Structure 1
Amino acid sequence: MSSTPEIDLLIEQTRRTPFTDRIANAYIRDNRRIRFPEYDGTKDPRAYLKAFRLTITRAHLTDEEREAAHCRFFAENLTGSALEWFSSLEGNSIDSFEQLITAFLKQYSVFLETEASEADLWEITQTKGQSLRTYIEKFKAARAKFHVVNHKVAIKALEKGLRHRSMFYKELALNPPRDLR
């Protein structure tokens, strides 16, 4: 015991874990050579979860290690406010990876990015004074967010968003492209 109650409380808080004993005390082989992604609580949690699931496949875990390793490696790579959130979970409340990611996704659902659609392309317009290059970059970035692209629809959306008096707009009207490549 230290002489300061605040220090004792701090030590106790850092010792407490949301994991059950089954998860916290399970033996897991050393996997330090695998570099896991980190999550700081400010971005889409799906991206972290996807990257984490891809990375953990390289760990070659045994059946006995799998559940505990998923939980512990996931938590060990939380930083900033995400680590604070994890640390604030009730002690002994997480006994599976499913429970952990359910709580995680509930907490960070506000950062879930909505799925993009071709309709988003129709909302992009070249503003007055905006260079053609900047407009095209903005359009390409929006188009890259979805997997299947109907090129005819995308070309029409690109044309619609252009400033009507631009040379590029006139060129597209005279020589319509077949696709956006």
Structure 2
Amino acid sequence: MKIPKRFHMPDIPKYIGTTEPNEHVTAYTCAINGNDLADDERESVLLKKFRQTLSKGEMIWYHNLPEYSIDSFSMLVDAFVKAHVGAIKVETQKSDLFNVKQRDDETFREFVSRFQIERMDLPPVTDDWAVQDFTQGLNSRSSITSMELKQNLIEYPVIVWADVHNRYQSKIRVEDDKILRAASVSWYQNRPW
């Protein structure tokens, strides 16, 4: 089937082989579906115009496809994704959470914040994993607060993340109170009158 004269090729970034191939296919398909095409026209356009979304380097892959080996857009997509599987982002593993460690120069508050951000970026992790990693990640050399909480979590183990959350929140409040008291004493001692 021929491509309809009314078809306008949307502006789609060229695929250069370094990003997730499924994301490229989705962007291309959505852009083509934005045209007013009949179902039979859509399949033909998707199949015939795909090569225009490939960079010069990726065109080599396209031109190396065996002649008459692709009968449908879904076959083309399958071949494309299989050929570019190396570019697919590797999903972060749950065990990556065990790599989150408090640095020597990192405050307790900074570590808690970074740990929570890292935890949100991972697939769901069971509470016992999160508790264990958080405890192991605390650096006793970083601050007194980190040392005290680590000792507390080892001495009085918990299984539920909410318990760890409550303990570190109370440590942060104590730390904040110490900072406020020190600032108040300093202000009182340095007052102008």
TM-score interval, normalised by the smaller of the two chains: 0.5 to 0.7
Q: Does the Cα contact within 8 Å between 1:121 and 1:139 map onto a contact in 2?
A: no
Runs of 4+ in 1 over 6 A off after TM superposition: none
Aligned residues: 152
Question: Is 1:169 matched with 2:178?
Answer: no
1:112 aligned to which of 88, 96, 105: 88
Match of 2:3 in 1: 26
Structure 1 residue 77: Cα displacement: 1.0
Instruction: Give the match for residue 45 of structure 1.
Output: 21
Structure 1 unaligned blocks of 5 or more: 1-21
Whole-angstrom distance in 1 between the partners of 2:111 and 2:48: 44
Distance 2:129 2:58 in 1: 40
The alignment yields a C-alpha RMSD, in angstroms, of 3.6
Shift of 1:63: 0.9
Going by fraction, where is helix more abundant, 1 or 2?
2
**Counterpart residue type for residue 91 of structure 1:** E
**Counterpart AA for 1:118:** K
Q: Which amino acid aligns with 1:177?
A: H
- Point out which structure has higher relative CO (alpha carbons under 8 A, 6+ apart): 1
Cα separation, partners in 2 of 1:60 and 1:155, compared to 1, 3 Å:
farther
Are positions 1:140 and 2:132 aligned together? Answer: no
TM-score for both structures, normalised by structure 1: 0.60
TM-score norm. by structure 2 comes to 0.58
2:51 to 71, 75, 78: 75
Corresponding residue for residue 58 of structure 1: 34
CA contact (8 A) 2:33 2:42 kept: no
CA distance in 2, matches of 1:141, 1:73: 40
Aligned partner letter, 1:70: L
Name the counterpart of 1:19: none
**Higher Rg:** 2
Query: Residues 114, 58 of structure 1: CA spacing in aligned structure 2 closer, same or farther, 3 A cutoff?
Result: same
Which runs of 5 or more residues in structure 2 are unaligned? 153-162, 167-193
Q: Secondary structure at the match of 2:99?
A: coil
